[in-house]
Amino acid sequence: MAGGSADERGEWRLALPLAAFFLLFFIAPLAVLAAWSFYAATETHTLTLAQYAKFLGDRFTLGILWNTLWLGVEATLVCLVFGYPLAWLAIRLTPRWQAALLFVVILPILTSVVVRTFAWIVMLGSQGVINKTLIAIGLIDTPLRLLYTETGVVMVLAQVQMPLMVLPIMATLMRVDRNLFDASASLGAGAWRTLWKVTLPLSIPGIVAGCILVYAACVTAFVTHTLIGGARLIYMPLYIYQQATGANDWPFAAAMSVIFMVAVLFVVYLLNLLGRTSKGQIYG
Protein backbone atom coordinates (compact mmCIF):
# COMPACT_ATOMS: atom_id res chain seq x y z
CA MET A 1 0.00 0.00 0.00
CA ALA A 2 1.24 3.44 -0.92
CA GLY A 3 0.46 4.85 2.51
CA GLY A 4 2.52 2.17 4.23
CA SER A 5 5.64 2.72 2.18
CA ALA A 6 5.38 6.49 2.44
CA ASP A 7 5.08 6.21 6.21
CA GLU A 8 7.98 3.76 6.39
CA ARG A 9 10.26 6.14 4.57
CA GLY A 10 9.35 8.82 7.08
CA GLU A 11 7.66 11.09 4.55
CA TRP A 12 5.12 12.08 7.18
CA ARG A 13 7.80 14.30 8.65
CA LEU A 14 7.42 16.59 5.62
CA ALA A 15 4.04 17.65 6.99
CA LEU A 16 5.67 18.94 10.18
CA PRO A 17 6.66 22.45 9.00
CA LEU A 18 3.13 23.30 7.87
CA ALA A 19 1.64 21.62 10.94
CA ALA A 20 3.88 23.72 13.19
CA PHE A 21 3.01 26.86 11.23
CA PHE A 22 -0.70 26.14 11.54
CA LEU A 23 -0.38 25.47 15.26
CA LEU A 24 1.40 28.78 15.81
CA PHE A 25 -0.40 31.05 13.36
CA PHE A 26 -3.81 29.53 12.71
CA ILE A 27 -4.91 27.41 15.66
CA ALA A 28 -3.33 29.66 18.31
CA PRO A 29 -5.08 32.85 17.07
CA LEU A 30 -8.41 31.00 16.98
CA ALA A 31 -7.78 29.61 20.48
CA VAL A 32 -6.94 33.09 21.78
CA LEU A 33 -10.10 34.37 20.09
CA ALA A 34 -12.14 31.70 21.86
CA ALA A 35 -10.50 32.56 25.20
CA TRP A 36 -11.29 36.27 24.78
CA SER A 37 -14.93 35.48 24.13
CA PHE A 38 -15.22 34.43 27.79
CA TYR A 39 -13.69 37.62 29.20
CA ALA A 40 -15.94 40.04 31.08
CA ALA A 41 -14.49 43.15 29.41
CA THR A 42 -11.49 44.29 27.37
CA GLU A 43 -9.68 45.20 30.62
CA THR A 44 -11.13 42.67 33.09
CA HIS A 45 -10.18 39.12 32.24
CA THR A 46 -12.47 37.23 34.60
CA LEU A 47 -14.22 34.36 32.87
CA THR A 48 -17.93 34.66 32.16
CA LEU A 49 -20.59 33.67 29.66
CA ALA A 50 -21.94 37.23 29.65
CA GLN A 51 -20.88 37.96 26.05
CA TYR A 52 -22.75 34.93 24.73
CA ALA A 53 -25.80 35.82 26.84
CA LYS A 54 -25.65 39.36 25.47
CA PHE A 55 -25.60 38.13 21.88
CA LEU A 56 -28.14 35.34 22.17
CA GLY A 57 -30.52 37.39 24.30
CA ASP A 58 -30.73 40.31 21.89
CA ARG A 59 -33.16 40.20 18.97
CA PHE A 60 -31.13 42.81 17.11
CA THR A 61 -27.90 40.81 17.10
CA LEU A 62 -29.70 37.53 16.44
CA GLY A 63 -31.39 39.24 13.50
CA ILE A 64 -28.00 40.20 12.08
CA LEU A 65 -26.79 36.61 12.36
CA TRP A 66 -29.94 35.26 10.73
CA ASN A 67 -29.80 37.85 7.90
CA THR A 68 -26.18 36.96 7.20
CA LEU A 69 -26.81 33.22 7.11
CA TRP A 70 -29.91 33.71 4.94
CA LEU A 71 -28.07 36.09 2.60
CA GLY A 72 -25.56 33.30 1.99
CA VAL A 73 -28.36 30.86 1.14
CA GLU A 74 -29.95 33.27 -1.35
CA ALA A 75 -26.68 34.15 -3.05
CA THR A 76 -25.66 30.47 -3.23
CA LEU A 77 -28.97 29.51 -4.85
CA VAL A 78 -28.70 32.29 -7.47
CA CYS A 79 -25.14 31.19 -8.11
CA LEU A 80 -26.27 27.58 -8.62
CA VAL A 81 -29.14 28.51 -10.97
CA PHE A 82 -26.78 30.40 -13.29
CA GLY A 83 -23.58 28.48 -12.63
CA TYR A 84 -24.93 24.98 -13.28
CA PRO A 85 -26.06 25.66 -16.88
CA LEU A 86 -22.70 27.30 -17.50
CA ALA A 87 -20.84 24.21 -16.28
CA TRP A 88 -23.24 21.95 -18.22
CA LEU A 89 -22.52 23.86 -21.40
CA ALA A 90 -18.78 24.16 -20.75
CA ILE A 91 -18.09 20.41 -20.77
CA ARG A 92 -19.78 20.08 -24.17
CA LEU A 93 -17.61 22.68 -25.88
CA THR A 94 -14.54 21.96 -27.99
CA PRO A 95 -11.28 22.17 -25.99
CA ARG A 96 -10.45 25.59 -27.47
CA TRP A 97 -13.79 27.14 -26.52
CA GLN A 98 -13.67 25.39 -23.19
CA ALA A 99 -10.33 27.03 -22.37
CA ALA A 100 -11.75 30.41 -23.44
CA LEU A 101 -14.82 29.96 -21.26
CA LEU A 102 -12.70 28.83 -18.32
CA PHE A 103 -10.63 31.95 -18.76
CA VAL A 104 -13.78 34.07 -18.52
CA VAL A 105 -14.89 32.13 -15.44
CA ILE A 106 -11.53 32.34 -13.65
CA LEU A 107 -10.86 36.01 -14.41
CA PRO A 108 -13.35 37.28 -11.80
CA ILE A 109 -11.87 35.24 -8.91
CA LEU A 110 -8.45 36.59 -9.68
CA THR A 111 -9.48 40.21 -10.15
CA SER A 112 -9.50 42.04 -6.84
CA VAL A 113 -12.81 41.66 -5.01
CA VAL A 114 -12.80 45.40 -4.27
CA VAL A 115 -12.48 46.11 -7.98
CA ARG A 116 -15.27 43.72 -8.89
CA THR A 117 -17.59 45.16 -6.28
CA PHE A 118 -16.67 48.68 -7.33
CA ALA A 119 -17.62 47.83 -10.90
CA TRP A 120 -21.07 46.90 -9.65
CA ILE A 121 -21.52 50.27 -7.95
CA VAL A 122 -21.12 51.86 -11.37
CA MET A 123 -23.69 49.44 -12.81
CA LEU A 124 -26.31 49.37 -10.07
CA GLY A 125 -26.96 53.08 -9.43
CA SER A 126 -30.27 54.67 -10.50
CA GLN A 127 -28.36 56.11 -13.51
CA GLY A 128 -26.47 52.83 -13.90
CA VAL A 129 -26.36 50.48 -16.85
CA ILE A 130 -28.85 47.99 -15.44
CA ASN A 131 -31.59 50.55 -14.78
CA LYS A 132 -30.97 52.30 -18.10
CA THR A 133 -31.20 49.00 -19.98
CA LEU A 134 -34.37 47.90 -18.18
CA ILE A 135 -36.01 51.27 -18.90
CA ALA A 136 -34.86 51.24 -22.53
CA ILE A 137 -36.42 47.83 -23.22
CA GLY A 138 -39.57 48.98 -21.44
CA LEU A 139 -39.57 46.52 -18.55
CA ILE A 140 -39.74 49.29 -15.95
CA ASP A 141 -40.67 52.99 -15.92
CA THR A 142 -38.82 54.26 -12.88
CA PRO A 143 -35.32 53.16 -11.85
CA LEU A 144 -35.18 50.23 -9.44
CA ARG A 145 -33.43 50.70 -6.15
CA LEU A 146 -30.61 48.18 -6.37
CA LEU A 147 -27.71 49.81 -4.59
CA TYR A 148 -28.02 49.55 -0.80
CA THR A 149 -30.66 46.81 -1.02
CA GLU A 150 -30.48 43.13 -0.20
CA THR A 151 -31.41 42.26 -3.81
CA GLY A 152 -28.34 44.19 -4.95
CA VAL A 153 -26.09 42.43 -2.44
CA VAL A 154 -27.38 39.00 -3.51
CA MET A 155 -26.84 39.80 -7.20
CA VAL A 156 -23.31 41.02 -6.67
CA LEU A 157 -22.36 38.15 -4.36
CA ALA A 158 -23.69 35.64 -6.89
CA GLN A 159 -21.59 37.18 -9.65
CA VAL A 160 -18.46 37.68 -7.58
CA GLN A 161 -18.43 34.09 -6.27
CA MET A 162 -19.74 32.36 -9.44
CA PRO A 163 -16.36 30.77 -10.33
CA LEU A 164 -16.30 28.88 -7.03
CA MET A 165 -19.55 27.22 -8.10
CA VAL A 166 -18.73 26.54 -11.75
CA LEU A 167 -15.28 24.98 -11.31
CA PRO A 168 -16.20 22.09 -8.95
CA ILE A 169 -19.34 21.26 -10.97
CA MET A 170 -17.32 21.19 -14.19
CA ALA A 171 -14.72 18.96 -12.55
CA THR A 172 -17.44 16.50 -11.49
CA LEU A 173 -19.30 16.54 -14.81
CA MET A 174 -16.09 15.86 -16.71
CA ARG A 175 -15.60 12.61 -14.85
CA VAL A 176 -19.09 11.38 -15.81
CA ASP A 177 -19.14 8.86 -18.62
CA ARG A 178 -20.70 10.62 -21.64
CA ASN A 179 -22.29 7.36 -22.77
CA LEU A 180 -24.72 7.68 -19.88
CA PHE A 181 -26.32 10.74 -21.49
CA ASP A 182 -26.58 8.98 -24.85
CA ALA A 183 -27.97 5.88 -23.18
CA SER A 184 -30.63 7.95 -21.45
CA ALA A 185 -31.57 9.64 -24.73
CA SER A 186 -31.66 6.42 -26.72
CA LEU A 187 -33.92 4.87 -24.10
CA GLY A 188 -36.42 7.62 -24.91
CA ALA A 189 -35.77 10.13 -22.14
CA GLY A 190 -36.10 13.77 -23.18
CA ALA A 191 -33.54 16.42 -22.41
CA TRP A 192 -35.24 17.52 -19.18
CA ARG A 193 -35.70 13.95 -17.97
CA THR A 194 -32.04 13.17 -18.64
CA LEU A 195 -31.06 16.27 -16.66
CA TRP A 196 -33.23 15.39 -13.65
CA LYS A 197 -32.65 11.65 -13.63
CA VAL A 198 -29.05 11.31 -14.85
CA THR A 199 -26.98 14.47 -15.03
CA LEU A 200 -28.10 16.24 -11.85
CA PRO A 201 -27.82 13.22 -9.53
CA LEU A 202 -24.35 12.46 -10.89
CA SER A 203 -23.18 16.02 -10.36
CA ILE A 204 -24.22 16.22 -6.71
CA PRO A 205 -20.64 15.97 -5.34
CA GLY A 206 -19.67 18.98 -7.47
CA ILE A 207 -22.82 20.90 -6.55
CA VAL A 208 -22.22 20.30 -2.83
CA ALA A 209 -18.55 21.31 -3.09
CA GLY A 210 -19.50 24.43 -5.06
CA CYS A 211 -22.30 25.39 -2.67
CA ILE A 212 -20.02 25.01 0.35
CA LEU A 213 -17.28 27.20 -1.15
CA VAL A 214 -19.73 29.84 -2.38
CA TYR A 215 -21.64 29.89 0.89
CA ALA A 216 -18.51 30.25 3.02
CA ALA A 217 -17.27 33.05 0.76
CA CYS A 218 -20.62 34.90 0.63
CA VAL A 219 -21.24 35.15 4.37
CA THR A 220 -17.78 36.57 5.02
CA ALA A 221 -17.67 38.94 2.00
CA PHE A 222 -17.04 42.10 3.99
CA VAL A 223 -16.30 44.34 1.00
CA THR A 224 -19.44 43.43 -0.93
CA HIS A 225 -21.62 43.71 2.18
CA THR A 226 -20.36 47.18 3.05
CA LEU A 227 -20.02 48.72 -0.42
CA ILE A 228 -23.24 47.39 -1.96
CA GLY A 229 -25.28 47.04 1.24
CA GLY A 230 -24.29 50.45 2.56
CA ALA A 231 -24.56 51.49 6.18
CA ARG A 232 -28.18 50.44 6.69
CA LEU A 233 -27.75 46.75 5.89
CA ILE A 234 -25.56 45.27 8.60
CA TYR A 235 -24.19 41.75 8.32
CA MET A 236 -22.03 39.81 10.78
CA PRO A 237 -18.59 40.70 9.34
CA LEU A 238 -19.27 44.46 9.49
CA TYR A 239 -20.81 44.16 12.96
CA ILE A 240 -17.81 42.20 14.27
CA TYR A 241 -15.49 44.78 12.70
CA GLN A 242 -17.42 47.69 14.24
CA GLN A 243 -17.42 46.11 17.71
CA ALA A 244 -13.74 45.17 17.47
CA THR A 245 -12.26 48.40 16.13
CA GLY A 246 -14.93 51.07 16.55
CA ALA A 247 -16.35 50.19 19.95
CA ASN A 248 -13.16 48.40 21.07
CA ASP A 249 -15.28 45.72 22.73
CA TRP A 250 -12.96 42.79 22.03
CA PRO A 251 -14.68 40.17 24.22
CA PHE A 252 -18.07 40.81 22.59
CA ALA A 253 -16.53 40.84 19.11
CA ALA A 254 -14.70 37.59 19.96
CA ALA A 255 -17.89 35.92 21.16
CA MET A 256 -19.65 37.02 17.97
CA SER A 257 -16.79 35.66 15.86
CA VAL A 258 -17.04 32.29 17.64
CA ILE A 259 -20.82 32.16 17.21
CA PHE A 260 -20.47 33.17 13.55
CA MET A 261 -17.83 30.50 12.89
CA VAL A 262 -19.88 27.78 14.58
CA ALA A 263 -23.00 28.84 12.64
CA VAL A 264 -21.18 28.80 9.29
CA LEU A 265 -19.55 25.44 10.02
CA PHE A 266 -22.97 24.08 10.97
CA VAL A 267 -24.42 25.13 7.60
CA VAL A 268 -21.42 23.60 5.83
CA TYR A 269 -22.02 20.40 7.80
CA LEU A 270 -25.70 20.40 6.77
CA LEU A 271 -24.71 20.85 3.11
CA ASN A 272 -22.30 17.92 3.41
CA LEU A 273 -25.02 15.83 4.99
CA LEU A 274 -27.43 16.76 2.21
CA GLY A 275 -24.86 15.64 -0.35
CA ARG A 276 -24.39 12.31 1.40
CA THR A 277 -28.09 11.45 1.81
CA SER A 278 -28.94 12.29 -1.78
CA LYS A 279 -26.03 10.16 -2.94
CA GLY A 280 -27.48 7.31 -0.90
CA GLN A 281 -30.76 7.68 -2.77
CA ILE A 282 -29.17 7.35 -6.19
CA TYR A 283 -27.27 4.18 -5.55
CA GLY A 284 -29.55 2.75 -2.85
Residue of 38, 55, 250, 252 that binds other proteins (CB under 8 A): 250
**Residue 105 to residues 98, 139, 186, Cα–Cα distance (Å):** 10, 29, 33
51 burial level (CB within 10 Å; 0-12, 13-18, 19+): buried
Residue of 65, 71, 101, 153 that binds other proteins (CB under 8 A): 101
Residue of 49, 53, 56, 89 that binds other proteins (CB under 8 A): 89
273 binds other proteins (CB under 8 A): no
Nearer to other proteins, 66 or 118 (CB): 118
26 binds other proteins (CB under 8 A): yes
Neighbours of 216 (CB within 10 A): 19
Report 162-201 residues binding other proteins (CB under 8 A).
162, 167, 170-171, 174, 190-192, 195
Which bin fits 52, alpha (ψ -120 to 50), beta or left (φ > 0)? alpha
| Residue in 106, 78, 84 with CA at minimum distance from that of residue 206 | 84
266 binds other proteins (CB under 8 A): no
Element (H, E) at 233: none
DSSP state of 47: B
Nearer to other proteins, 95 or 280 (CB): 95
Element (H, E) at 178: none
Alpha carbons 40 and 264: distance in angstroms, whole number:
25
52 binds other proteins (CB under 8 A): no
- Concatenated DSSP letters of 180-218: HHHHHHHTT--HHHHIIIIIHHHTHHHHHHHHHHHHHHH
Stretch that binds other proteins, among 55-63, 101-109, 146-154, 274-282 (CB under 8 A): 101-109
Report 1-20 residues binding other proteins (CB under 8 A).
1-3, 6-7, 9, 11-15, 17-19
Nearer to other proteins, 167 or 204 (CB): 167
Nearer to other proteins, 204 or 258 (CB): 258
**Residue 195 to residues 85, 99, 128, 201, Cα–Cα distance (Å):** 11, 24, 37, 8
Q: What's the distance, Cα to Cα, between the start and end of the chain in Å?
A: 30
Stretch that binds other proteins, among 48-56, 57-65, 135-143, 209-217 (CB under 8 A): 209-217
Stretch that binds other proteins, among 56-64, 136-144, 215-223, 276-284 (CB under 8 A): 215-223
257 binds other proteins (CB under 8 A): yes
245 binds other proteins (CB under 8 A): yes
148 binds other proteins (CB under 8 A): no
Report 114-143 residues binding other proteins (CB under 8 A).
114-116, 118-123, 127-129
